[in-house]
Amino acid sequence: MILDRRVAIDNVCAWPNLTVLRDGVIIATIFSQPTHGGWEGDVACWASADGAKTWRYRGTPASHEPGTNRMNVAAGLSASGDLLVLASGWTPRPAVGSPPADHSQAHTLAPWICRSADGGCTWQVRDDFPRPNGPSSQYIPFGKIVIADNGDLVASVYAGASAEPRHSAFVTRSTDDGRTWQPPTLLADDDYNETDLLHLGRGRWLAVSRTRRDQHLQLLRSDDDAHTWRTVMPLTSPMQIPGHLLQLAGGRLLLCHGNRCSGEFGVNARLSDDDGRSWSASLRLAETTDLDCGYPASVQLPDQAILTAYYAKCSAVHDRYHMATVTWQPP
């Protein structure tokens, strides 16, 4: 049941990543410009203190350098409650308002480690994230930063720029509450990139990863606290990417994903009652009018409703880039 729909933040491409602070404020970490990465731009944080009814700009985790942007992020809370963002981006990028650059010709920037102790208002930035060995592009972060059973922080990254034929997904760990990060270890090789992680507890993890060749979502599982992984099953049809996992109060699992199939543009969801072994039929959450859409992220509100944020180039109710939200109750 849909409870509310809103254009939450106007004139941004967004790719939203949601984090709930300890005081209940919801932080949306987004790309700040209304282009699919074609201009210079920053990673920005917007905050909602009223259950996503209104949003206000709060701070900038990663300000771009000239001729570049910062737009690819993983985000979450440290064990101490600090807000963390890993932010990479692309170069060269033209100035805002120029004809957008060809993304396939860009080079990946190494991620920055961004940390805020005041809820996203001010930020400390380090540039010592590990670099890949060999000729591949820099690591690109994606999805949630999650706390493991042993207290490590775990995030997903992938290697392989747009023009490269082969992508691989990795996990990286921090043993000092997100201040420094270890060299990533392989999650899934040959065809995988944007991956979201979910910790089920007692060393059990799920990951949902976007494949490059036919653009579907693949479910992976770990039973040793995210050190080794095995593939389980495909979760979506081609062009239904990327995905976000959330464990709801009561234990059910929620998968939200973009839908770029012709005539079905928007955001869909599926539910699992058995820790991801089986999944419900697809639920339609949002519709857009262009395939440039999706990248949903969800959190559960205090009243148990679900807030799902996503981006759209345009929709039936808004004709330019924006971050939209839908608040809903699952069946």
User: What is the tens place of the pLDDT at every residue in 132-152?
Assistant: 886 567 999 999 999 999 999
pLDDT tens-digit map of 81-134: 999 999 999 999 999 999 998 877 789 999 999 999 999 999 999 999 999 886
Distance CA 16, CA 197 (A): 16
**Mean pLDDT along residues 318-322:** 98
What distance in Å separates the CA atoms of residue 164 and residue 220, rounded to the nearest whole number? 23
Q: Is the pLDDT of residue 165 over 60?
A: no
Alpha carbons 233 and 240: distance in angstroms, whole number:
15
Residues 300 and 52 sit within 8 Å (Cβ to Cβ): no
**pLDDT tens for each residue of 255-307:** 999 999 999 999 999 999 999 999 999 999 999 999 999 999 999 999 999 99
Residue 23's pLDDT band (boundaries 50, 70, 90)? very high
Over residues 25-43, the pLDDT tens digits come to 999 999 999 999 999 999 9
Q: What is the pLDDT of residue 201?
A: 96
Give the pLDDT confidence score for residue 110 in this predicted structure. 95
**pLDDT value at 163 more than 60:** no
Mean pLDDT of 179-193: 93
Local confidence band at 190 (pLDDT 50, 70, 90 cut-offs): confident
Return the pLDDT at 233.
Answer: 97
> What is the pLDDT averaged over residues 60-76?
98
Query: Tell me: domain 2-328, CATH 3.40.50.300, correct?
Result: no
Q: Stretch 202-217: mean pLDDT, rounded?
A: 96
pLDDT at 136: 62
pLDDT exceeding 70 applies to what percent of the chain?
A: 97
Residue 63 has pLDDT above 90, yes or no: yes
Position 104 scores a pLDDT of 76
Q: What is the pLDDT of residue 161?
A: 60
